[in-house]
Structure 1
């Protein structure tokens, strides 16, 4: 039987009997794009809604704090874009191991292992959250060490400590989300996210505007919203995703404590890959703090990063969707179908990025009014809006290609690519342009965008040259190695505490 070869040729060769049909004409291509788009957006749109809602919690918090003054806004910007992003990146990355393992196991029919993987991930992520706590406790000396303005560092450290409880909620939330995404159970989490966003807005108004609790009140609303998401998702998993309902939850099991070391390794690879991406743009805010007029520089960049984050949540949805599609198809032994998903998602992501670029350029002088009424700050945002527009395009393709990498289990390779492109090339270039050549915020941002562009081009080349037949075989081997007897044991074992 003829099998699909490496790279793009997989769309034109005959594969396994149950693989996607080959694309031989324009009509075949149109049908493939339509069918794959329905699958991708059926998964990706609810995930994007949930992620936009989660990110909206940060934006709502920043909006309420922003109207308290420039110094509180700078403090919240650093607290959210550096410390909260640090935690988000690491925990979301650790949880992304579930995208590979649960997705491929679900595609191969090893549903019994999903709940065990989830419990292992909860153990690892909660321990990781505990280990990160000192970073929040000692935020002020860390910020001063990297040259941050003392007043901004002091207030940012206070805010970082206020939002520490949300980190433990993220640990619960991200693992639960990946477990649900692998099974395409994405609609209920989207509604949970919307409910949490509404709760955050109402609670922020009560605490900040009505009761005058300032930054502490905004942080309390932020923490509460994250715990709403975490506890609601756990309730949904335990109550409605049991094996008797076709889900992957079979109750609490002692099998969760087995093979933790191997699971931890893949989790760490996933975390390093994603953290190197998320922390990279967060470093722009830290570097900007050493420029003249630090408050305006940090605030203008914080507003742009906030807007960029809104778009980023959409592409995190597509990232998760293509990861689910690729991992499910590889686990099912369908390499051509996996390649089709990659082609469609990259093309559609690029079109969406270009649309957002046009919107930013059209409203460059006015969109910052949402965050501030300070005229000087609004003009500062307008001056760097062009770089935000370029960022919108680059950050459309890059996340979905990373999602392909997670679906295929290539986290270790991508971590090395990220390290070289971001921290060996982009970060030093940004420092050189911003400080040595006196180009300020624009120079720092331009240099770091060059790192993103290089990383995206390399990942596209890797995807193009991938042997998808070999990836499907490797996925089958991984499922057997991680499932097999363990899966059978999990099916037969009685839950320790609770039946789903």
Structure 2
């Protein structure tokens, strides 16, 4: 026992979050975490800048909605249609694909295959470039496509024009997601935050300038966001090239022809990440659409509670990204015992975070609702749903944890099958029945149905991780990285 403690202390003193976790002289079962406190502190260091980064990224949508709301009701409706389409046919794909790097880059770095980190990023950039082509074609054709689903023809045209202008920033958006993972895999979670901090006020300024000074309307808001999206990866590149980011060059072996081969793991994990994103996002969009069968006030109330929930969701989601990176490092290093122990801690932390989020939402429900809407009817409908929405935050945080663990293990394909099966064979039909069927629970039915599906998803994913051989994940890393 004393010997094990001494080994832990030596290992802890030799490693930081920005150094490879396994050298040739280390035992695969070395325990580098040192203590629960050290593991918790590392999670905090990773998570705080991530939370700020993702909340500031979400501010882009808030600014666009704010600007559109000050133009006209039609502009606001068109912006909503455009951003929903953009999320489902675009950002869900790009962000889902980028989660493959949460696995590949973190595991490569943990295993000591430093140049492998840069190689995975090169492959992802090429894969994203190919994916942007069909996405871009859809966005260009969106005025005609949306007119098939949107009854108001002029709104379809406005939303389509919004998407066409937004296409300018799609390459930058994709590059930023890949570059962000390149740095995060090395334990640097602050560079992306600095980039976002610089770009957020620029986005607000450009949106104001193009919309109101240049008179471009909703297209001006789209152009402001697009140009800012292209600026973000440029700032990351400057950071890497400057002396402050010079240490990251250890993971860049230059451009290589190897990036053109062995795409199998990248494609499989990218598709799985996309499937998880689409499975979750589309389910909520479908249920939001279903509220139109209740009343216009119910649609507005659902939009308000969804916005509150999404803002809250960014906290456990940021934790899940940190968890993916940390577990990826440990699995890459072959530290299965440490990874399992850390997973227990992360589950507890995420449950606590979800509980705190839920308590705050319920306690401040009246203030939050009046901030988003001054309509008494809308606020009354939303208020009756807030207890269910608050409980939902706990479930959502646990799901973020299990999905983050599976990404770190490289098993997001399992998560994709579970999410798609549970949501579309169970949760969505149940939510619609509770909402519109004989129970007639309204918005409560939406959240109870989707929440029930997430409980089942968490149970299935948790049971899978408990029963699987984590050592197989280590073997997969060694085989892939040629160790």
Given the two structures, how large is their TM-score scaled by the length of structure 2? 0.85
After TM superposition, give the deviation of residue 409 of structure 1 in Å: 0.8
User: Gapped runs of 5+ residues in structure 1?
Assistant: 1-14, 23-30, 486-500
1:34 aligns with 2:3: no
- Tell me what 1:332 maps to: 333
| Structure-1 residue corresponding to 2:30 | 19
Q: Report the Cα offset of residue 186 of structure 1.
A: 1.3
Within the alignment, does 1:410 sit opposite 2:411 as a pair? yes
Following superposition, the deviation at residue 359 of structure 1 comes to 1.7
The 1:243–1:481 alpha-carbon spacing in structure 2 relative to 1, beyond 3 Å, is farther
Distance of aligned partners of 1:55 and 1:118 in 2 relative to their CA distance in 1, 3 Å threshold: same
Shift of 1:158: 4.1
> For the Cα contact (< 8 Å) 1:82–1:285, is it kept in 2?
no
**Are 1:247 and 2:250 an aligned pair?**
yes
CA distance in 2, matches of 1:396, 1:283: 21
Alignment of 1:340-355 (within 5 A): 340-355=341-356
Q: Residues 79 and 241 of structure 1: is their aligned pair in 2 closer, same or farther, counting only changes over 3 Å?
A: farther
1:462 to 2:464 alignment: yes
Q: What residue is the counterpart of 2:478 in the other structure?
A: 480
Q: Which residue number in structure 1 is paired with residue 426 of structure 2?
A: 425
Deviation per residue, 1:22-78 (Å, 9 max, x gap): 9xxxxxxxx833111111111122222211111121122223323445443333333
Alpha-carbon deviation of 1:128?
0.9
Which residue of structure 2 aligns with residue 490 of structure 1? none
Give deviations 1:354-407, integer Å, cap 9, x for gaps. 112122112222324444444544444434333332332222111121010000
Compared CA separation, residues 142 and 365, structure 1 to 2 (3 A): farther
Between the aligned partners of 1:388 and 1:159, the Cα distance in structure 2 is 31
Worse-matched range after superposition: 147-156 or 273-282 = 147-156
Is the 8 Å Cα contact of residues 239 and 245 (structure 2) preserved in structure 1? no
- 1:303 maps to 304
Judge which range, 114-123 or 440-449, deviates more.
Answer: 440-449
Q: Between 324-333 and 440-449, report the one with greater CA deviation.
A: 440-449
Comparing 59-68 and 367-376, the one that deviates more: 367-376
RMSD, aligned α-carbons? 2.9
Deviation of the 1:124 alpha carbon: 0.4
User: Is 1:160 aligned with 2:163?
Assistant: yes
Which deviates more from structure 2 when the two are superposed, residues 431-440 or residues 345-354?
431-440
CA pair 463-340 structure 1, distance change in 2 beyond 3 A:
same
2-side partners of 1:238 and 1:253: how far apart?
A: 19
Alpha-carbon distance between aligned partners in 2 of 1:136 and 1:256, rounded to the nearest angstrom: 28
CA deviation string 1:286-340 (max 9, x = no partner): 333x42544x443332232222222222222211111111111111111121122
Name the CA shift for 1:261/1:313 in 2 (closer, same or farther; >3 Å).
Answer: same
Residue 319 of structure 1 is matched in structure 2 by 320
Q: Which residue of 2 aligns with 1:498?
A: none
In the alignment, the residues of structure 2 paired with residue 354 and residue 273 of structure 1 have an alpha-carbon distance, to the nearest angstrom, of 24
SS of corresponding position for 2:35: helix
Q: Deviations over 1:109-163 (max 9, x none)?
A: 0001111111110010121122122433444665565677767655544433443
Unaligned 5+ runs, structure 2 = 1-25
Q: How far does residue 83 in structure 1 lie from its aligned partner after superposition?
A: 2.5
Tell me the equivalent position of 1:4. Answer: none
Q: What is the alpha-carbon distance in structure 2 between the residues aligned to residue 169 and residue 377 of structure 1? A: 38
2:399 is the alignment partner of 1:398: yes
Which structure 2 residues correspond to residues 202-213 of structure 1 after superposition, within 5 A? 202-208=205-211, 213=216
Contact 2:327/2:408, CA 8 A, preserved across alignment: yes
CA distance in structure 2 between the partners assigned to 1:86 and 1:377 by the alignment: 30
Change (3 A) 1:331 1:21: closer
Match of 2:136 among 129, 133, 137: 133
Under a length normalisation based on structure 1, what TM-score does the superposition of the two structures give? 0.82
**1:213-252 matched pairs, under 5 angstroms:** 213-238=216-241, 247-252=250-255
Aligned pairs (5 A) from 1:42-441: 42-139=45-142, 153=156, 155-208=158-211, 213-238=216-241, 247-288=250-291, 290-294=292-296, 296-437=297-438, 438-441=440-443
Structure number with greater CO (CA < 8 Å, separation at least 6) is 1
Greater CA deviation, 311-320 or 233-242?
Answer: 233-242
